[in-house]
Amino acid sequence: MTEDFDRILDECIDRINRGDNAADCLSDYPAYSEKLRPLLQSMHDVQKTYAFAPSADAKRAARQKLHATLGKQRRMTPVLSLFRAIPRSAVWATTAVLVLAIVGALVIEPVLNPPTLVPSPDGNFAFLISDEPNDIGDFESLNVTISRVVLQAAASLKRLEFTPETRTVDLTQLQGEQAQEIWRGDVPAGQYSQIYIYVSEVVGKLESTGQSVDVKLPGGKLHLSMPFEVTTDIITNFTFDITVVATGNNGKYVLKPQIGESGARQEQKSLE
């Protein structure tokens, strides 16, 4: 009995940590709600008392330090081993300074400030959004507004980003084979391994009631870890599939990336 209660309390705490509210968990376990309620209230009191959001400046500074150290660490290892094998001299020290300067310019800078790609109708890369139909049938409309898309290169920390030309997509219109191109432009040729979609707003309206409904997106971003290649002479169409699923019987939904339906397809550039 106590073990059951411990598990239920634990589940409720997990759900609250993920963004659910306590009332939903209490309604899922009515037999325990009287015992659960005061404990969840205490959790709320403690969290509220110590709540603080670190300043954006502190977070940015720490991020820059981390990425700078990361870039330095990745490049220093091979450089250092090379220099250990040869006599130290002023000439080599000068070379080291030059190497680090080049590394700084080519590797660290793109990590700290990923270059923003510009759209072009003749570009070698098209980015599309689609929707695998899980619970999308519950919606009259589900508008997702995308603020930016980040591509991460496979072999380095290099990141590139672009702002979609079409920023808001209605997932109810993009079910199954349907997909909508939201950006096209030139992307440097190479191997890429990760794609992040940063979402600024999700507005869902239910088919059954016509009312707005809470659709969560933990962290405000969708992430796919999927290797793909971009070349200069072939157009790469990358489709990022987003799906919406109900989180239980509490009338809430969550957006998720659908890796099985996402991926790159390549087509020849048309000859003019």
Partner 1 sequence: MNTGNRKDIPTINEYESRLADLYEEYYDKVARYVYVHIGNKEEAEDIAGEVFLKALKSLESYREQGVPMQGWLFRIAHNLTVDYLRKMDKRSRVPIDSIVLPGNDNPADTAEKNIEFERVTEAMKQLTTEQTEVINLRFFGGLTSKEVGGILNKSDGAVREMQRAAIEKLRGIMGVERR
Closest CB 139 distance from partner 1, rounded Å:
28
Whose Cβ is closer to partner 1: residue 17's or residue 113's? 17
Residue pair 51/64 in contact by the 8 Å Cβ criterion? no
Q: Does residue 4 bind partner 1 (CB under 8 A)?
A: no
Q: How large is the angle between the packed helices 56-84 and 90-103, nearest 10 degrees?
A: 140
How many residues bind partner 1, per CB under 8 A?
A: 43
* H-helix segments, the chain: 2-17, 22-28, 33-49, 56-84, 90-103, 109-112
* 270 is a contact residue toward partner 1 (CB under 8 A): no
Asked if residue 50 binds partner 1 (CB under 8 A), the reply is yes
Q: Does 265 help bind partner 1 (rule: CB under 8 A)?
A: no
Residue 197: HSE in the Cβ half-sphere, 13 Å Cα cutoff: 27
Q: What are the beta bridge partners of residue 15?
A: none
Report, in Å, the least distance between residue 93 CB and partner 1. 24
- 272 in helix, strand or coil? coil
Is 62 one of the binding residues for partner 1 (CB under 8 A)?
yes
Task: Give the phi and the psi of residue 114 in degrees, each rounded to 5.
Answer: -60, 130
Nearer to partner 1, 70 or 234 (CB): 70
Cα distance between residue 166 and residue 180, in whole Å: 9
**Could you say which of 1, 34, 54, 270 contacts partner 1 (CB under 8 A)?**
54
Query: What is the rounded end-to-end Cα distance, in angstroms, of the chain?
Result: 74
Of residues 150-169, which lie at the interface with partner 1 (CB under 8 A)?
Answer: 152, 155, 157
- Contacting residue, 23, 27, 31, 42, with partner 1 by CB under 8 A: 42
Instruction: Give the closest residue to 134 by CA, choosing from 213, 245, 252.
Output: 245
Residues 206-245 that bind partner 1 (CB under 8 A): 219, 223
**Which positions touch partner 1 (CB under 8 A)?**
2-3, 5-7, 9-10, 13-14, 17, 38-39, 41-43, 45-47, 49-55, 58-59, 61-63, 65-67, 69-70, 73-74, 152, 155, 157, 194, 219, 223
